[in-house]
Amino acid sequence: MACGISNSVFQRLKISPQNFFDWNIGKRNSNDQPQPKYHDIHLPFSPSLVSKTFLKGRELKCCYKASIDGFSATSFHNCCDFKGPCVIIGYTNKSFKFGAFNPEGYRSTDDYYDTFDAFLFYWTDDEETEPPIILPKVGGSGAALFDYARGGPQFGADGLLIGPPLAPVMGGFAGPDTNSGIGDLRQAKSRLGLSYAKRPDGKESLFGDEYKATVEEVQVFCSPQIASLY
């Protein structure tokens, strides 16, 4: 009888083998990843603006709103890194509305990227119902975008800088204290002609007659679908 019981136990063990190894060890549980936060605001530009980009036909949501998330470059990157291509919209204290398209997105690499696909744009006289004026990349594709961890959006060496680093960036190191020199996105400057085309009216700044501007709001729009792939 004992032998019969033992044989049946062995048979059950053969039929129902147990796996003592956890094959999911080392795998990142998707449930552990923080869910991106998006602001529920109206899209402040026509979808036609991105009709020739990777964002064509995709749902766009606001991943960064400076007046809520903070104007520091750190806050900007916390919200915008690893979100894919994005549209940046800015408003100055003089009610001037402007923006830019970044086809590469942000990753805080302290590096620059070459592309012909980035562009700047602005609206005139608050005519938001009209398409914005587009300023394309000029002078070749080189250094179209800069992705400084301690700076905000930067297009070309001088085309458009919103919250540039307050200390020089050299090879991913910007001085003895890497926590210092964080850019403030309330400050912006622009000089056109070298990296991005001048305005049709001949003015050499995105902001018109002034090379610097005080920014009251910055919003960044991305595709949640693309962001979920990171």
Considering the domain boundaries, does residue 68 fall inside one? yes
pLDDT score, position 171: 52
What letter represents residue 183's amino acid?
Answer: G
Residue 137's DSSP bridge partners are 196
Q: Is residue 194, in this structure, part of any structural domain at all?
A: yes
Q: Domain for residue 44, yes or no?
A: no
Identify the sign of the CA torsion 50, 56, 62, 63: negative
Task: Give a yes or no: residue 8 inside a domain.
Answer: no
Structure tokens at 108: 């805080």
Instruction: Assess if residue 50 is contained within a domain.
Output: no
pLDDT at 179 over 70: no
Is residue 117 predicted with pLDDT exceeding 60?
A: yes
Please state the rounded mean pLDDT for residues 33-62: 94
| Residue 32 confidence class, pLDDT cut points 50, 70, 90 | low
Q: Would you say residue 25 lies in a domain?
A: no
The whole-angstrom separation of Cα 222 and Cα 61 is 6
**Does 11 have pLDDT greater than 80?**
no
Query: For residue 102, what are the domain limits?
Result: 59-168+183-228
143 close to 157: Cβ distance less than 8 angstroms: yes
Query: CB–CB of 64/109 below 8 Å?
Result: no
Domain count across the chain: 1
User: DSSP characters for the chain?
Assistant: -HHHHHHHHHHHHHHS----S-TTTTPPPGGGSPPP--B----SS-GGGGTTSTTTT---EEEEEHHHH-SBHHHHHHHHBTS-SEEEEEEETT--EEEEEESS-B---SEEE--SS-EEEE-STT-TTSPPEEEEB-S-STT-EEE-TTS--EETTTTEEES--SS--BTTB-SS-TTS---BTTEEE---SSSBPPPTT--SSTTSS-SEEEEEEEEEEE-HHHHTT-
Average confidence (pLDDT) over 193-208? 98
Residue 3: per-residue pLDDT: 47
pLDDT at position 21 is: 41
Give, in degrees to the nearest 5, the angle at Cα 85 between 142 and 192.
40
Residue 145 bridge partners (DSSP):
113, 155
**Phi then psi for 66, rounded to 5 degrees?**
-55, -40
Q: How confident is the model at residue 13 (pLDDT cuts 50, 70, 90)?
A: very low
For the chain, the average pLDDT equals 87
Query: Across the strands, what pairs with 162?
Result: 188
Which pLDDT score, from 0 to 100, does residue 128 have? 63
What is the structure's pLDDT at 88?
Answer: 99
| pLDDT higher than 70, residue 4 | no
Judge whether residue 73 has pLDDT over 80: yes
Which pLDDT value is given to residue 146? 98
Assess if residue 153 is contained within a domain. yes
Task: Answer whether residue 138 is part of any domain.
Answer: yes
Q: Which tokens go with 59?
A: 């749902």
